[in-house]
Amino acid sequence: MPIPDDRAATYTDWLRQITKLPTSAGREDRVVAWIERWAGERDDLTLTRDEHQNLTIAFRDEPATDAGPLYLTAHLDHPAFVVESRDGADLTLAFRGGVMDDYFLDARIIVHTDDNSSHGATITAKTEGPHEPFKMFSATLDDAGASVNPGDIAVWDLPAQEILPAPDGGEAVEGGVLHTDACDDLAAVAAALGALEETRLARARGESVADLRILFTMAEEIGFIGAIGACRSETPPKNARLICLENSRADPKESPIGGGPIVRVGDRISVFTPELTTQIAKVAESLGGSAHARATEKATDAPKFRWQRKLMAGGACEASVFCAYAYTATCVCLPLGNYHNMADLTAVQAGTHTSRPRVGREHVSIRDYLGMVELLGACATSLGESPSFRARLDKLWDERKFVVGG
């Protein structure tokens, strides 16, 4: 059942709030504080940290279920700078994340300090520094007297957040497109919280729900460090099933913004757990049909529930990490515009751009985001009910084996 308008408005508000929060690998404090406030307002939930500062939110009294816990995971960082040193108005910054060098020179940034002040600066050069493997840059503050110190974080200076009809240069999308500071992976953080809220409400109505938990990981943008730590410490128990949430670079033809959340079958590193991926796809089908019309079906322009099923060959996500450590894991993601804030990225990579590369706001479809919340909420109530592919094969055999003399 689609999310009612009042809750959809609430979840969209969470999306708008969270995607404006400055964050960087190892300096996710502002996002953590938002989550702590959110969890603290709900007496039926607990929030804990593991030794690597990853957060887990769970029901205070675990729902009775025969299956292992079902985890939604999302990371709390986004590519950004950390101030390493200061000399007057001059700063040395480490960039924690992956962005092409073309986007840095003369770029404007905003430094956010621990006392909640913010100060403008301009990147002046790529430089050297002791903190490999991070890229190092020098920048000059607009105000030499600004209260900026080592450890403060800096983000791109971007236009104000807004909901527009379409992605940059794209066709209009129903429900609009949120253009904001950082969707990757903060939009997934908001979606995970929305799905947990939907599960809380289903449980209050007396419905049977999974033992749904959220794992929020640290420092994904510098090599999945929080997720690796969670695996090594077995923060999720080994019988857990993990749905890793991501924002993945959209393609107008292959994975369009507005085409719905994407059930990812794998990335450039690995193929995810097939059984769990198939179960999620079956839940998505139960909400409104196939991701693509089969050869025996007519295509429809207006399916009840829009979703996509894709191999994301060009990127990688935490599901590959969990699979490497023998967890049952897969991924659901949102199609993302201006991946890592790199505007016109396709042309820049191809060398066909006609102007200097500039950063831009990331953007996701509001409808895709709410679709992710709906899909994940449905997984919490019906994932275990979906027959396995092996069970479906056995049923087919029993029904039709007579054809081959069985």
pLDDT value at position 296?
A: 57
pLDDT average, residue stretch 151-161 = 98
- pLDDT average, residue stretch 340-360: 93
What's residue 295's pLDDT? Answer: 56
Q: What is the mean pLDDT of residues 193-215?
A: 96
Q: What is the pLDDT of residues 259-305, one digit of tens each?
A: 999 999 999 999 999 999 999 999 999 998 777 766 556 655 566 89
Does the pLDDT value for residue 6 go beyond 60? Answer: yes
Query: First vs last Cα of the chain: how many Å apart?
Result: 41
Average pLDDT, stretch 81-95?
96
122-136, 157-171, 293-307 — which one is most confidently predicted on average? 157-171
The phi, psi pair for 215, rounded to 5°, reads -115, 115
Burial group, residue 358, by CB count within 10 angstroms (0-12, 13-18, 19+): middle
Query: What is the rounded CA–CA span in Å between residue 14 and residue 117?
Result: 23
Helix axes 366-382, 186-204, angle to 10 degrees: 40
Given the structure tokens 């060398």, which residue do they identify? 351
pLDDT of residue 385: 58
Domain ranges of the chain: 5-78+162-392, 80-156
In this predicted structure, what is the pLDDT of residue 133? Answer: 85
- Identify the pLDDT of residue 325: 97
pLDDT at 302: 61
The residue that leads in pLDDT, 291 or 85, is: 85
| C-alpha dist (Å) from residue 129 to 90, 105, 132, 148 | 14, 17, 7, 19
**Cβ–Cβ under 8 Å, residues 332 and 287:** no
CATH assignment of 80-156, given 2.10.260, 1.10.150, 2.40.10, 3.30.1490?
Answer: 2.40.10
Dihedral sign from CA coordinates of 182, 166, 336, 379? positive
Which pLDDT band, with edges at 50, 70 and 90, does 308 fall under?
very high
Question: Quick check: 165 pLDDT over 70?
Answer: yes
| Mean of per-residue pLDDT scores for the chain | 93
**What is the average per-residue pLDDT within 172-193?**
97
Q: What is the model's pLDDT at position 43?
A: 97
pLDDT (0 to 100) of residue 69: 95
pLDDT at 366 over 70: yes
pLDDT at 304: 82
Answer yes or no: is pLDDT of 390 > 70.
yes
pLDDT of residue 297: 60
Q: What is the mean pLDDT of residues 178-192?
A: 98
Measured in whole angstroms, the distance separating CA 29 from the mean position of its chain's CA atoms is 18
- Flag whether pLDDT at 177 surpasses 90: yes
pLDDT of res. 17: 98
Which residues have a Cβ under 8 Å from the Cβ of 384 and sit 6 or more positions away?
65, 66, 67, 210
Note the CATH number of domain 5-78+162-392: 3.40.630.10
DSSP-assigned states of every residue in 322-353: HHHTT-EEEEEEEEEBSGGGBTTHHHHHHT--
pLDDT on residue 178: 98
